[in-house]
Amino acid sequence: MPATESAPTPPPASRGPTPVTWALVAANVLALALVEAAGSATDLDDLVRAGAMERGRLWAGQWWRFVTATFLHVGWPHLAMNVAAAVLLARPVERALGSVRFASVWLAGGIAGSALSALGRDVVSAGASGSLHAVLGAALVLHGLALGSLRAFLRNRAVWVVAISLAAWACAALALSIPLDHLAHAGGLLAGTAVALAFAIRPSRRPGAIGAVAAGLVLLAAAAAWPRGEPSRYEAASRGARIHAALRRLDRAEARRLLAEADAAGQPGPELDYYRGLLRLQEGDLAGALAILRPLAEGPPGTVRDEARARAASAARVLGLRHAAGRGVPPNPLLGLAYLDEACTLGDEASCGRAEALRREIAR
């Protein structure tokens, strides 16, 4: 990697102002303080409202989340780690590149990290780590330029220490299930390296290189933001929570509207069927509710099976007693017995005794 006349010089030890680094640190601290003042930086809903990366909103056209997500953090410890990294790593790189070029590296890394994360992970994400990895990529480029050749770069002990440290930290995070956004880190590292290399080539070729990097960044962002038909995981969970809340306050019209919205969005999952069953129960359609809840109650273990069994058993018990006694329906002891037996099978012990009593009565 030969040095050129126009290439940035290696970072000086400790001189020169670094206004962009300190401005970014201040912006990140202010952003977290504002989120905390309005709610909690560890609450996903508050983070999404503040601008964290969330697929569904990105697909709806909120491209600005590529940038705003990089200024948000999941609590003060998360921010403290990134601020410490910025103070140690970013200031020397800003001195070497200059403030404008350094800001370009930071921004490109944040956008690339957010875009690659959104492409590969259906989660809410926030943090400056994509930008910080871009700065690390730029620092490695500067180090390579100082060494003067690719061979020297690949043999350099400091480069290997950085590479092994990154690999070890990534492996440890995966093994210990630490929720690091490895795709954001990779996207930032690649973007920072590419931008720094574009700045380092000879002036006659620099505009084309910068244009190619910018075009690649735009294409990556466009691929991540291109609208999809399916709802994101966060959207599905949020809509489910709103349906649950509507049913708890007996707002059947709102629950019905939200269920129709979920159907239109193509949102799958047994949880919605469970809510449909609850809505039928609230509307007094016990047979319809039982028809919806029965497959869930007999299905594999999951978040709704036990609740579905309890609700289905209750509906079957009431239907059995109604048909056995002819309350509001024509008397039909055999149908009532079938419902009571079903309620017994679903775990309602009281229905077991009533079914046996009704069976003896029918036998007489």
Task: For the chain, give the percent of residues with pLDDT over 70.
Answer: 90
Residues 195 and 305 in one domain: no
112 shares a domain with 31: yes
The total number of residues shown for the chain amounts to: 364
C-beta neighbour count of 174 within 10 angstroms: 11
Residue 250 inside a domain? The answer is no
Residue 46 is part of a domain; what is its CATH number? 1.20.1540.10
> How much is the pLDDT for 179?
62
pTM over 0.75: yes
Last residue of a domain, one of 196, 225, 254: 225
Q: Are residues 201 and 324 in the same domain?
A: no
Residue 125 per-residue DSSP state: B
Q: What number is the average pLDDT over the span 86-107?
A: 92
Q: Which residues lie below 8 Å from residue 203, measured CB to CB, with a gap of 6+? A: 6
Task: Give the pLDDT mean for 163-188.
Answer: 71
Among 225, 252, 279, residue at a domain's last position: 225
Quickly state the pLDDT bin for 152 (edges 50, 70, 90).
confident
The reply to whether 46 falls in a domain is yes
For residues 310 and 217, membership in a common domain is answered with: no
Same domain, 159 and 213: yes
Q: In the chain, how many domains are there?
A: 2
Residue 286's contacts (CB-CB under 8 Å, 6 or more residues apart) are 280, 315, 318, 319
Phi, psi of 125 (to 5 degrees): -135, 150
> Which pair of structure tokens corresponds to residue 168?
């070890």
Instruction: Return the top range by mean pLDDT from 71-75, 149-153, 154-158, 172-176.
Output: 71-75
150 and 278 share a domain? no
pLDDT digits (tens, 9 = 90+) for 37-55: 999 999 999 999 999 999 9
Report the candidate in 252, 341, 246, 342 with the shortest Cα–Cα distance to residue 291.
Answer: 342
Where do we find the tokens 């709802």?
Answer: 231
118 and 198 together in one domain:
yes
Tell me, yes or no, whether 310 and 182 share the same domain: no
Residue 315 included in any domain: yes
Average pLDDT over residues 90-107: 93
More confident residue, 305 or 178: 305
- pLDDT at 3 exceeding the cut of 50: no
Q: Are residues 282 and 179 in the same domain?
A: no
In this structure, what CATH number is given to the domain that contains residue 294? 1.25.40
* Average pLDDT score over the chain: 87
Q: Kindly state the average pLDDT of the residues 117-131.
A: 92
Within-domain flag for 298 = yes
The structure tokens 């012990």 sit at 349
Q: Is residue 349 part of a domain?
A: yes
Domain that holds residue 317: 269-363
Q: Are residues 176 and 276 in the same domain?
A: no
Q: How is 28-96 classified by DSSP, letter by letter? A: HHHHHHHHHHHS-TT-HHHHHHHT-B-HHHHHTT-TTHHHHGGG--SSHHHHHHHHHHIIIIIHHHHHH
For position 11, what pLDDT does the model report? 47
Residue 104 lies in a domain: yes
Given a cut of 50, whether residue 2 has pLDDT beyond it is: no
Q: Is residue 257 part of a domain?
A: no
> Would you state the pLDDT for residue 34?
96
Q: Residue 12 pLDDT more than 70?
A: no
Same domain as 217, residue 119: yes
Same-domain pairing of 139 and 33: yes
> Is residue 317 in some structural domain?
yes
Q: How confident is the model at residue 4 (pLDDT cuts 50, 70, 90)?
A: very low
pLDDT tens for residues 219-253?
A: 999 999 999 878 899 998 899 999 999 999 999 99
Please give the pLDDT value at position 228: 86
